[in-house]
Amino acid sequence: MESPSGPEQGSLLAAARGAYRTFFGGLDPQIAVSAPGRVNLIGEHTDYNQGFVLPMALQMGTMVVGSPREDGIISIVTTAQGADEPKKVTFPGPMEGATLEPGEPRWANYVKGVIQHYQAGPLPGFNAVIASNVPLGGGLSSSASLEVATYTFLQQLCPDNGDPVTKALVCQKAEHTFAMMPCGIMDQFISVMGKEGHALLIDCRSLETFLVPLDDPDVVVLITNSNVRHTLTGSEYPTRRRQCEEAAKVLGKESLREATMADLEASKALLSELVYRRARHVIGEIERTSRASEALQSKDYKRFGQLMVESHNSLRDDYDVSCPELDELVSFALEIPGVYGSRMTGGGFGGCTVTLLESGVAEKVQKHIKVCDIDTEQCLSQWGGQSSG
């Protein structure tokens, strides 16, 4: 049995194995794999515009445990409270000649999509249990960690060529075609390629990745969960994507990655005020992310923090994807000296904020945010302490 390591992984593994025994006749699973969630430090809504993103993998992740079965049938259970019912699904797999389709429950589509698009075969049937400690829908990418953990599980059953880019792209395709979410490539890339003690600069145009060390004991990344999820997200994300495509078209560019602020200003009269603001966020954010990556390389945390705040303001004012709870969490964090910067992270409309701070003030910031009476759930992540799956 391949055993994922780390303290958090240990309890997740125990929970997954326990559930497996309960659901599958008291047997122990033969395979256990995991993939991490992520926090995006900067570069929001830039991935589907071919820009830069700078996420890092978290210790929180999704685990899949299971065993092959000979009849070609696939049976999967999720232990996640937040997933829709039923929590167990059983269906004929590819070995039975079945073509999988998206359907109900919705959570299973993330798994089915990966199975359907997996390129090696024939895949045997299997029993599996999914256990995760990434909050579902909290902007820390529970969905990609589920897809990538599923893919890693399939690799154990039926090895493919092991190419990490293919792996990330297949997982993204699963999210597009089965979860109907037209996401960019960031979440799947970082979940596959994240490395302990590093952030990952991803060039979403060339698909090149650059590890940026994040191993300074004097600095902490604090993730704060607003615990709110505004339901408009479903339609808002594709709408933003369309607005960006429209802006690029008017500017005569393949994507907003190719456009400069000067290009945007020159075409301002041809764009609606709304589309102009959307494009201004994206073009500015791509530039900020590349500068932030340089600041991080040179350990210029002050500069990095300023760029985070600029990013938040742009997401709030130009991209309209923040919400009062996220804005408040950011303002509270910025009230404490020693905080370099703070911003919403993930798609928006709720979810989490990410804050960069001196490690000496970490406790103070956590207490301050709690005192400010927001129902929060904090996760403190010391740089250098993250693990990949």
Q: Does 78 bind ligand ADP (CB under 6 A)?
A: yes
Q: Does 89 bind ligand ADP (CB under 6 A)?
A: no
The residues in 152-191 that bind ligand ADP, with binding defined as CB under 6 A, are none
Question: What's the 3-state SS for 292-350?
Answer: HHHHHHCCCHHHHHHHHHHHHHHHHHCCCCCCHHHHHHHHHHHCCCCEEEEEEECCCCE
Q: Does 345 bind Mg ion (CB under 5 A)?
A: no
Exactly one of 34, 75, 142, 342 binds ligand ADP (CB under 6 A); that residue is: 142
Mark whether 187 is an active-site residue: yes
Q: Does 386 bind Mg ion (CB under 5 A)?
A: no
Q: 62 and 145 in contact (C-beta within 8 Å)?
A: yes
Which of the choices ligand ADP, Mg ion, none does residue 49 contact, using the CB cut-off of 5 to 8 A by kind? none
317-338 in b/e form (b: 16+ CB < 10 A) is ebbbbbbebbbbbbebbbebee
C-alpha to C-alpha distance for 129 and 27, rounded to whole angstroms: 12
Q: Does 348 bind ligand ADP (CB under 6 A)?
A: no
CB of 47 to ligand ADP, least distance (A): 13
Joined together, the tokens standing for residue 143 give 């969905």
Question: Which lies closer to Mg ion via its Cβ, residue 18 or residue 137?
Answer: 137
Number of amino acids touching ligand ADP (CB under 6 A): 19
Exactly one of 34, 116, 143, 311 binds ligand ADP (CB under 6 A); that residue is: 143
Exactly one of 40, 75, 133, 143 binds Mg ion (CB under 5 A); that residue is: 143
Q: Does 346 bind ligand ADP (CB under 6 A)?
A: yes
3-state SS, residue 78: strand
Question: Which lies closer to Mg ion via its Cβ, residue 141 or residue 150?
Answer: 141
- Cis amide linkage into residue 122, ω under 30° from 0: yes
Exactly one of 110, 126, 178, 383 binds ligand ADP (CB under 6 A); that residue is: 110
C-alpha to C-alpha distance for 154 and 17, rounded to whole angstroms: 18
Q: Does 132 bind Mg ion (CB under 5 A)?
A: no
Q: Does 290 bind ligand ADP (CB under 6 A)?
A: no
Q: Does 323 bind ligand ADP (CB under 6 A)?
A: no
H/E element, 273: helix 273-297
Q: Does 319 bind ligand ADP (CB under 6 A)?
A: no
Question: Which lies closer to Mg ion via its Cβ, residue 40 or residue 141?
Answer: 141
DSSP labels, 35-74: EEEEEEEE-TT-GGGT-EEEEEEEEEEEEEEEEEETT-EE
Stretch that binds ligand ADP, among 48-56, 76-84, 242-250, 295-303 (CB under 6 A): 76-84
Site string (228-257) toward ligand ADP, x via CB under 6 A: ------------------------------
Which of the choices ligand ADP, Mg ion, none does residue 83 contact, using the CB cut-off of 5 to 8 A by kind? ligand ADP
Identified catalytic residue from 71, 163, 187, 320: 187
Q: Does 132 bind ligand ADP (CB under 6 A)?
A: yes
Q: Does 50 bind ligand ADP (CB under 6 A)?
A: no
| Cα-based distances in Å from 371 to 333, 340, 353, 374 | 12, 20, 17, 8
Q: 91 and 178 in contact (C-beta within 8 Å)?
A: no
Q: Does 141 bind ligand ADP (CB under 6 A)?
A: yes
Q: Which are the contacts of 304, defined by CB distance < 8 A and separation ≥ 6?
A: 42, 292, 295, 296, 340, 341, 356
Q: Are strands 52-69 and 198-203 parallel, antiparallel or unpaired?
A: antiparallel
Residue 320 CA, chain-centre distance (Å), reads 20
Stretch that binds ligand ADP, among 2-10, 78-86, 191-199, 283-291 (CB under 6 A): 78-86
Residue 349 CA, chain-centre distance (Å), reads 15
Active site amino acids: 187
Residues forming the site for ligand ADP (CB under 6 A)? 62, 78, 80, 83, 106-107, 110, 130, 132, 136-143, 146, 346
- Residues lying near Mg ion in the complex (CB under 5 A): 141, 143
